[in-house]
Amino acid sequence: MAGIADFLDSLIGGFALICYSLTIGGLFWGLFVLRPWLSEDGGQRAEDRYNAVLLQKTVTLIYKGGFLLAAAQLFKIILKIWLMTAVLERWPFPEFAGTTQFIGGIVRTILTVFLAGYCYQTLSKNPFSRMHWITAVVVALPMIISGAWLVHAAGRFENQFILMALTVIHQLAAAAWIGGIFQLVNLWLLRQSKQVPAELWPFLLRRFSRFGIASVAVILISGLPIALQYIDTWNGLIGTGYGNLLMVKITLLSMALGFAWLNKSAVQEYGVSGNSYALNNRVPYYIEAETFVLVTLLFTAASLASQPPAIDISSLTA
């Protein structure tokens, strides 16, 4: 039964990370890449460049991701209650109600519903308003911060708050990158169905390229000290479940970065020569492959989160 519970926990965890990327990455996409409140090309109105279809689809992905994230978080709590009831053969309350996992999970569920509700009720009706995009990000901040109490570092005694902060930043940067990729897939589908102007494809690809590079840099900068803290020996890297999953995660990240480099090269070629062949015929397939790899990476990250850090395993076996 514990094995089934661990499998379901990893599965729901991966799904929750996808939803988190849709929501938080979507907000970052709107605020830093789309920027619908700006006028472009000598005063052309933003409404002329970004039609209502694009903005509505963008915001829809954000609030649907938020509602699904809240549901996934609630399901994880229910799953833990079910497992403890089965193992202990008694109702785990009121003891479980006082744990960090329960309180943090409930708080994050409520904050996520509030964020998704704001995006559904307000942002979707004012998608060209800079103030409403900024407000949505401000509303998201408590939910983002609340995630710090649901990670490995929350249960540690050494460097607890530093590791909690680094983990939240790591997740935030990953969501910004992966959520942006999801939005690029959405943009390509809208372009293929001729619901948005064709010139938006290279325009937003170029903008996202710079944003994606910054996101990946933050992922690497925040991830390295976390890995060094949790794995202190080579044996911990190759001889434990945590270390093995980390190696898989690094491999998948390298593959995703390879596809991202191909995308960037095509955008640069288009900027220099104006040749749109690679941009329109190769990049969509690169992005599809990158999306598949990143989704797999999220499920791997969820499995990694359910494993005890290698340094803890080493201390138990020493």
Tens-place pLDDT, residues 7-54: 777 889 889 999 999 999 999 999 999 999 885 544 455 545 788 899
Where is pLDDT greater, at 309 or 74? 74
> Which pLDDT does position 311 carry in this prediction?
62
Q: What is the pLDDT of residues 127-165, one digit of tens each?
A: 999 999 999 999 999 999 998 888 877 777 778 889 999
State how far the Cα of 177 lies from the Cα of 181, in Å rounded to an integer: 6
State how far the Cα of 109 lies from the Cα of 22, in Å rounded to an integer: 16
Tokens representing residue 196 in the block: 């948005």
State how far the Cα of 73 lies from the Cα of 303, in Å rounded to an integer: 16
Query: What average pLDDT score do residues 227-245 get?
Result: 76
Q: State the helix-helix crossing angle for 241-273 and 310-317, rounded to 10 degrees.
A: 160
How remote is the C-alpha of 33 from its chain's centroid? Answer: 16
State how far the Cα of 12 lies from the Cα of 4, in Å rounded to an integer: 12
> Which pLDDT does position 141 carry in this prediction?
96
How many Cα atoms are found within 13 Å in the side-chain-facing hemisphere of 107?
18
State how far the Cα of 105 lies from the Cα of 237, in Å rounded to an integer: 30
SS3 40: strand
SS3 23: helix
State how far the Cα of 216 lies from the Cα of 131, in Å rounded to an integer: 27
Residue 122 has pLDDT above 60, yes or no: yes
Burial label, 42 (beta-carbon count in 10 A; 0-12, 13-18, 19+)? exposed
Q: For residue 101, name the pLDDT band (cuts at 50, 70, 90).
A: confident
State how far the Cα of 103 lies from the Cα of 100, in Å rounded to an integer: 5
Q: Give residue 144's identity as a one-letter amino acid code.
A: I
Strand partners, 40: 44
- 280 Rama class: left (phi>0) / alpha (psi -120 to 50) / beta: alpha
State how far the Cα of 19 lies from the Cα of 198, in Å rounded to an integer: 28
Q: What is the pLDDT of residues 54-69, one digit of tens each?
A: 999 999 999 999 999 9
Q: For residue 219, name the pLDDT band (cuts at 50, 70, 90).
A: very high
Query: What average pLDDT score do residues 254-272 get?
Result: 86
Burial 129-153 (b: 16+ CB within 10 A, else e): eeebbeebbebbeebbebbbbbbbb
Query: What average pLDDT score do residues 181-208 get?
Result: 91
Residue 106 has pLDDT above 90, yes or no: yes
Burial 255-287 (b: 16+ CB within 10 A, else e): bbbebbebbbebbeebeeeeebebbbeebbebb
Query: What average pLDDT score do residues 305-310 get?
Result: 72
State how far the Cα of 93 lies from the Cα of 59, in Å rounded to an integer: 39
Average pLDDT, the chain: 86
> Which pLDDT does position 5 carry in this prediction?
65
Tell me the Cα Rg of the chain.
Answer: 21
Burial label, 123 (beta-carbon count in 10 A; 0-12, 13-18, 19+)? buried
State how far the Cα of 156 lies from the Cα of 192, in Å rounded to an integer: 49
SS3 150: helix
State how far the Cα of 130 lies from the Cα of 133, in Å rounded to an integer: 5
